[in-house]
Amino acid sequence: MIVVLKNNVSPEEENAVVEEIKKLGYRPHVMHGVARTVIGAIGDEHSHRDLDVLNAWPQVESVTPIQKRHKLVSREAHPQDSTVNAGGVIVGGKKIQVMAGPCSVESEEQLMKTAHAVKAAGASMLRGGAFKPRTSPYEFQGLGEEGLKLLAKAREETGLPIVTELLSQDQAELVAEYSDMLQIGTRNAQNFQLIIAAAKTGKPVLLKRGMSMRIMEWLLAGEYVLANRNPNLLFCERGIRTFEDYTRNTLDLSAVACFELEDLMQTPSAVAPVITYLFHRLEDRFDGRPTLLLIDEAWLFLDHTVFAARLRDWLKTLRKKNVAVVFATQSLADIEGASIAPTLIESCPTRIFLPNERALEPNTNAIYRRFGLNARQIEILARAIPKRDYYYTSPLGCRLFDLDLGVIALAFCGAASPADQKQMDECLDAAPEAGFARSWLERKQLGWAADLLAERPRPATSPLSEIASE
**Is residue 257 helix, strand or coil?**
coil
Residue 184 burial (CB count, 10 A) = 27
pLDDT in tens, 67-109: 566 777 777 666 677 889 999 999 988 788 999 999 999 999 9
One-letter amino acid at 461 equals: T
Q: Is 144 exposed, middle or buried (0-12, 13-18, 19+ CB in 10 A)?
A: middle
Counting Cα atoms < 13 Å in the Cβ hemisphere of 202 gives 3
pTM for the full predicted model? 0.53
Task: Answer whether residue 203 is part of any domain.
Answer: yes
* Rounded CA separation 193/237 (Å): 21
Q: What is the dihedral of CA 192, 198, 204, 206, to 10 degrees?
A: -50
pLDDT in tens, 190-229: 999 999 999 999 999 999 998 888 888 899 999 999 988 8
- Residues 224, 71: contact at Cβ < 8 Å? no
What is the per-residue burial (b if ≥16 Cβ within 10 Å, else e) of 325-351? Answer: bebebeebeebbebebbebbbebeeeb
Task: Answer whether residue 75 is part of any domain.
Answer: no
Query: Which pLDDT score, from 0 to 100, does residue 465 have?
Result: 40
Concatenated DSSP letters of 53-81: GGGGSTTEEEEE---SS--TTSTTT--SP
- Residues 332, 353: contact at Cβ < 8 Å? no
User: Are residues 212 and 161 part of one domain?
Assistant: yes
Q: Which of 371, 402, 433 is the last residue of a domain?
A: 402
User: Are residues 171 and 155 part of one domain?
Assistant: yes
Task: Answer whether residue 79 is part of any domain.
Answer: no
User: Mean pLDDT of all residues in the chain?
Assistant: 83
Q: Which of 364, 379, 402 is the last residue of a domain?
A: 402
pLDDT at 463 exceeding the cut of 50:
no
Query: Which pLDDT score, from 0 to 100, does residue 86 have?
Result: 93
Q: How many structural domains is the chain composed of?
A: 4
Task: Answer whether residue 255 is part of any domain.
Answer: no
Task: Answer whether residue 244 is part of any domain.
Answer: no
User: Are residues 303 and 160 part of one domain?
Assistant: no
> For 92, which DSSP code?
S
User: Are residues 229 and 96 part of one domain?
Assistant: yes
pLDDT in tens, 247-306: 667 766 555 556 666 677 677 777 778 778 888 878 877 878 788 888 877 666 676 777
Across the range 12-22, mean pLDDT stands at 88
User: Are residues 225 and 106 part of one domain?
Assistant: yes
- Residues 223, 70: contact at Cβ < 8 Å? yes
How large is the angle between the packed helices 268-285 and 305-317, nearest 10 degrees? 20
Highest mean pLDDT among 117-126, 300-309, 457-466: 117-126
Q: Which of 346, 371, 402 is the last residue of a domain?
A: 402
The mean-pLDDT minimum among 73-77, 315-319, 373-377 falls in: 73-77
CA 315 to chain centroid = 27
Across the range 311-323, mean pLDDT stands at 83
* Rounded CA separation 269/437 (Å): 45
Across the range 333-339, mean pLDDT stands at 76
User: Are residues 170 and 294 part of one domain?
Assistant: no
β-bridge mates for residue 352, sequence order: 392
Instruction: Answer with the residue of higher pLDDT: 434 or 292.
Output: 292
One-letter amino acid at 116 equals: H
Query: Which pLDDT score, from 0 to 100, does residue 76 have?
Result: 67
pLDDT in tens, 120-154: 988 999 999 999 888 788 888 889 999 999 999 99
> For 169, which DSSP code?
G
Query: Which pLDDT score, from 0 to 100, does residue 45 have?
Result: 58
Across the range 43-47, mean pLDDT stands at 60
User: Are residues 54 and 40 part of one domain?
Assistant: yes
Instruction: Give the pLDDT band (50/70/90) at residue 467.
Output: very low
Residue 143 burial (CB count, 10 A) = 22
Q: Which residues contact 304 (CB under 8 A, 6 or more apart)?
A: 265, 271, 275
Instruction: Give the pLDDT band (50/70/90) at residue 454.
Output: low
The mean-pLDDT minimum among 4-18, 103-117, 150-164, 184-198 falls in: 4-18
Q: Would you mind telling me the total number of residues written for the chain in this entry?
A: 470
The mean-pLDDT minimum among 11-15, 366-370, 372-376, 424-428 falls in: 424-428
The CATH number of the domain holding residue 154 is 3.20.20.70
- Residue 184: enclosing H or E segment and its boundaries? strand 181-184
pLDDT at 402 exceeding the cut of 80:
yes
* Rounded CA separation 366/394 (Å): 20
**If we measure between CA atoms, which residue out of 78, 71, 91 comes closest to residue 216?**
71
Concatenated DSSP letters of 374-429: -HHHHHHHHHSPTTTEEEEEETTEEEEEE----HHHHHHHT--SHHHHHHHHHHHH
- Beta sheet of 99-100, edge-to-edge order: 99-100, 125-127, 162-165, 181-184, 205-208, 233-236
Concatenated DSSP letters of 332-363: THHHHTSTTHHHHHHH---EEE---TTTTSHH
User: Are residues 296 and 160 part of one domain?
Assistant: no
Task: Answer whether residue 247 is part of any domain.
Answer: no
Task: Answer whether residue 152 is part of any domain.
Answer: yes
User: Are residues 315 and 366 part of one domain?
Assistant: yes
The CATH number of the domain holding residue 397 is 3.40.50.300
User: Are residues 363 and 276 part of one domain?
Assistant: yes
Q: Which domain holds residue 132?
A: 84-236
User: Are residues 414 and 390 part of one domain?
Assistant: no
The CATH number of the domain holding residue 49 is 3.30.70.1140
One-letter amino acid at 193 equals: Q
User: Are residues 441 and 381 part of one domain?
Assistant: no
Concatenated DSSP letters of 191-246: -HHHHHHHHHT-S-EEEEPPTT--HHHHHHHHHHHHHTT---EEEE---B--S--S
